[in-house]
């Protein structure tokens, strides 16, 4: 019942299914049943309220029988960057306790190629007399939604039904047809598994190129955002904006699934991962170099700690890693501003006294470090004040609001170009 499972459960309940949301976290289950969705997502509070009151949805920590079992659990990495499928196998073990003939298992979690086939093998080992495509059905249907717009994309994005066989695809499609307005494509489970990994690995490679452009521009004492902005004037060029690194539960993780499975065919993907992993440390080094010019103990504000803009998700966040490392320095007074996350969730990384409102932080800070481009950070309202600060822009926000100013990079103390 997380970022994918809960919204999927809600939208299925809205479409007439009787939905049971299973989670082993009893506290999460209790909060959801008490109309608290736990996660931040537009529309989720009202929609959860509706399906709970309508009694078409409830959460539970006790597995129950169903026609469709949707596995939407984390698939993290091990400390050696291998794939940890323990949550998938644990979920399947629960399912096999109660599943009956005619049921369907739908795997939405991102997994290595061949995982759906292993699910089928485990079910057949548990029930030797069962035949896939007849007594039970299995498919991989990868989610492809954007946090902050999940409900819309669950309905409107195209979906791949990666059935173990044609009968499984047909059976599982009956579920998705009830709410998916986008195209539905029928493919094998192995193809669906690889497509999901390719989608996120492609983004990772594109981001790595942006980070290399940033490194080159910074070495040449140029503003990387201006370099990319002008390069993108070419009709067939679309370089992404560099950030302080790559985080989240997908793009920073999924390439390793391919690297582990296909070590001889993933040299570019592996190199892109290395570039993106290095970016966060490069940003920390730039910040520390800029702070060396200060006499005394400067007050530094870090703006944004989530892994991307306008979400509450801290998983694998490079900005959070930067904050945690800078919090160890006794040569600065550190402040952090993260409007999308409850302060208590940040106490593991920074002291409560270091968490401030963005507007207050700007007034107190000598140095403002822009790490995440939250729209709530309305820099336009602080243009005059920010020009008296050292501004380090690692998300393109300052460049965006100043690019049309005739005095860009000339009067703004602390632009990336001047800092370098």
Across the range 69-96, mean pLDDT stands at 95
Same domain, 12 and 120: yes
Q: Quick check: is 204 in a domain?
A: no
> In the structure encoding, which two tokens stand for residue 70, read together?
């949707």
pLDDT of residue 286: 94
Q: Quick check: is 216 in a domain?
A: no
Same domain, 243 and 156: no
pLDDT of residue 79: 85
Same domain, 225 and 169: no
Q: Quick check: is 164 in a domain?
A: yes
Q: Is residue 394 very low, low, confident or very high in pLDDT (cuts 50, 70, 90)?
A: very high
Give the helix ranges, DSSP H, for 220-266: 224-231, 254-261
Q: Judging by DSSP bridges, how do beta strands 19-22 and 57-60 pair with one another?
A: parallel
Same domain, 121 and 246: no
Q: Is the pLDDT of residue 417 over 60?
A: no
Q: Tell me if residue 60 falls in helix, strand or coil.
A: strand
Residue pLDDT, tens place only, 345-370: 999 999 999 999 999 999 999 999 99
Domains identified in the chain, total number: 2
Element (H, E) at 367: strand 367-370
Give the integer Cα–Cα distance in Å for 58 and 29.
Answer: 9
Of residues 141, 250, 321, 395, which has the active-site annotation? 250
Q: Which of 54-68, 108-122, 288-302 has the lowest mean pLDDT?
A: 288-302
Give the helix ranges, DSSP H, for 99-149: 115-126
Cβ(42)–Cβ(4) below 8 Å: no
Residue pLDDT, tens place only, 44-70: 999 999 999 999 999 999 999 999 999
> Could you give the maximum distance between any two Cα atoms of the chain, in Å?
77
Residue pLDDT, tens place only, 208-257: 999 999 999 999 999 999 999 999 999 999 999 999 999 988 899 999 99
Same domain, 385 and 253: yes
Q: Quick check: is 211 in a domain?
A: no
Q: Is residue 401 very low, low, confident or very high in pLDDT (cuts 50, 70, 90)?
A: confident
pLDDT of residue 99: 97
Give the integer Cα–Cα distance in Å for 409 and 415.
Answer: 6
pLDDT of residue 293: 85
Same domain, 282 and 408: yes
Of residues 141, 196, 308, 321, which has the active-site annotation? 196
Same domain, 192 and 227: no
Give the integer Cα–Cα distance in Å for 150 and 181.
Answer: 14
Same domain, 174 and 29: yes
Q: Quick check: is 22 in a domain?
A: yes
Residue pLDDT, tens place only, 162-221: 999 999 999 999 999 999 999 999 999 999 999 999 999 999 999 999 999 999 999 999
Q: Quick check: is 206 in a domain?
A: no
Q: Quick check: is 203 in a domain?
A: no
Please confirm, yes or no, whether 250 is among the known catalytic residues: yes
Same domain, 154 and 263: no
State the chain's mean pLDDT as an integer. Answer: 93
Same domain, 193 and 97: yes
Portion of the chain with pLDDT greater than 90, in percent: 85
Looking at beta carbons, which pairs linking 122-131 to residues 24 or more positions away fall under 8 Å? Answer: 122/89, 122/92, 122/96, 123/92, 123/96, 123/99, 126/96, 127/96, 130/101
Give the integer Cα–Cα distance in Å for 304 and 377.
Answer: 9
pLDDT of residue 420: 46
Per the structure, the complete domain to which residue 359 belongs is given by 221-419
Give the integer Cα–Cα distance in Å for 218 and 328.
Answer: 26
Same domain, 165 and 242: no
Same domain, 233 and 362: yes
pLDDT of residue 404: 56
CATH assignment of the domain containing 359: 3.40.50.720
Please confirm, yes or no, whether 181 is among the known catalytic residues: no
Give the integer Cα–Cα distance in Å for 348 and 36.
Answer: 23
Domain boundary among 163, 198, 233: 198
pLDDT of residue 406: 43
Q: Quick check: is 68 in a domain?
A: yes
pLDDT of residue 302: 98
Across the range 93-114, mean pLDDT stands at 97
């Amino acid at each position: 019942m997380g970022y994918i499972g809960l919204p999927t459960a809600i939208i299925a309940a809205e479409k007439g299914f009787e939905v049971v949301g299973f989670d082993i976290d009893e506290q999460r289950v209790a909060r959801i049943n008490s109309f608290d969705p736990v996660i931040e997502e537009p529309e989720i509070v009202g929609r959860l309220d509706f399906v709970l009151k309508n009694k078409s949805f409830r959460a539970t920590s006790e597995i129950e029988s169903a026609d469709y079992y949707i596995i939407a659990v984390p698939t993290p990495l091990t400390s050696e960057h291998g794939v940890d499928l323990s949550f998938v196998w644990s979920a399947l073990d629960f399912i096999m306790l109660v599943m009956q003939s005619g049921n369907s298992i739908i795997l939405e979690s991102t997994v290595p190629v061949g995982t759906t086939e292993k699910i089928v093998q485990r079910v057949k080992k548990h029930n030797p007399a069962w035949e896939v495509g007849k007594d039970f059905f299995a498919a991989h249907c990868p989610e492809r939604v954007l946090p902050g717009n999940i409900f819309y994309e669950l309905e409107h994005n195209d979906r791949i039904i990666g059935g173990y066989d044609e009968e499984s695809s047909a059976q599982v499609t009956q579920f998705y047809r009830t709410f998916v307005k986008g195209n539905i494509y029928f493919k094998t489970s192995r193809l669906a598994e690889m497509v999901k990994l390719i989608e996120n690995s492609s983004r990772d490679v594109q981001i790595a190129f942006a980070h290399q452009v940033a490194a080159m521009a910074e070495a040449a004492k140029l503003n990387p955002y201006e370099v990319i902005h002008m390069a993108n004037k070419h009709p067939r060029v679309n370089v992404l904006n560099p950030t302080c690194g790559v985080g989240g539960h997908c793009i920073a993780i999924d390439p390793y699934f391919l690297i582990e499975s296909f070590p001889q065919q993933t040299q570019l993907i592996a190199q892109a991962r290395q570039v993106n992993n290095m970016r966060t440390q490069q940003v920390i080094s730039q910040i520390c170099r800029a702070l060396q010019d200060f006499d005394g103990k400067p007050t530094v504000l870090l703006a944004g700690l989530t892994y991307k803009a306008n979400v509450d998700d801290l998983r694998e966040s490079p900005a959070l890693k930067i904050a945690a490392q800078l919090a160890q320095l006794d040569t600065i007074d550190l402040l952090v501003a993260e409007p999308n996350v409850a302060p208590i969730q940040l106490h593991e990384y920074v002291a409560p006294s270091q968490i401030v409102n963005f507007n207050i932080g700007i007034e107190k800070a000598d140095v403002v470090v822009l790490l995440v481009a939250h729209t709530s950070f309305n820099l336009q309202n602080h243009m005059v004040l920010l020009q008296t600060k050292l501004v380090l822009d690692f998300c393109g926000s300052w460049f965006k609001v100043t690019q049309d100013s005739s005095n860009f990079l000339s009067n703004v103390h602390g632009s990336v170009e001047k800092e370098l």
